[in-house]
Amino acid sequence: MNEEDVKNILGLQLPTDPRWVDLAGISLEDILTDHAYCEQKAATTCISLIQRYSDKEKLITALAPVVTEEWGHFRLVLAELHKRKLKLGKQRKDEYVNRLIEFQKKGGSPEERFLDQLLTMALIEARSCERFKRLSEGLNDAYLRRFYRRFMESEAGHYTLFIDLAETYIDKEKVRKRWAEWLAYEAGMIRQLEVRGDRMH
């Protein structure tokens, strides 16, 4: 995946600041901790979606295995921490995700709220995939580069899954329009957020 792919495949409008990967490489315990919680949140959010939309058969069928996969990712990261004699630290406030939640339509129709929830997930998966790509290319440790390459591939699949789910239930044109708004919002936000090596986003 090169620069163009990030834009074409993931749709993201702003690549990650190149300084980020260097910072992440020097705060390994922090970045692995943060990554572990990201995986955990991905699993719990999928569980919440299944609970909230239990009438949507395709959604529950698609998300049930993702819960297992994300939890598997959490376990992989935890094992990596322990292997390196590092500890799972405390969960931090996730400014990136909180700001995305602020953009969700609060007073909208059930369909609009549903769409925003799926697109929030798609965006987190896309940005995570892009960040994993940076790590898989820019870290000094060859083992960790391979480690992150696996995550990159898996999150790219999740990004498309959430977009496909949105299009399964909602008019494609509506999905496309709202997705463009999300991408613009996210790029503006990335520009504002401080570049820190102790967090995935």
State the residues that interact with Fe ion by CB under 5 A. Answer: 39, 42, 70, 73, 125, 155, 158
Comparison of 30 and 39: residue with beta carbon closer to Fe ion: 39
- Minimum Å gap between C-beta 22 and Fe ion is 23
Task: Indicate the residue among 112 and 164 with the shorter CB distance to Fe ion.
Answer: 164
Distance of CA 16 to the CA centre of its chain: 14
Q: For the CB of residue 50, give the shortest distance to Fe ion in the complex, in Å.
A: 15
Q: How far apart are CA 200 and CA 30, in angstroms?
A: 9
Contact in structure between 87 and 29 (CB atoms under 8 Å): yes
Please state the closest distance from residue 17 (CB atom) to Fe ion, in A.
22
Q: Could you give the C-alpha distances from 61 to 104, 106, 169, in angstroms and in order?
A: 25, 27, 14
- CA separation for the pair 135, 201 (Å, rounded): 12
> Which tokens is 110 given?
């059930």
* Closest distance to Fe ion from the beta carbon of 110 (Å): 25
Nearer to Fe ion, 8 or 68 (CB): 68
Residue closer to Fe ion, measured from CB, 158 or 201: 158
Confirm if 145 and 135 have CB atoms less than 8 A apart.
Answer: yes
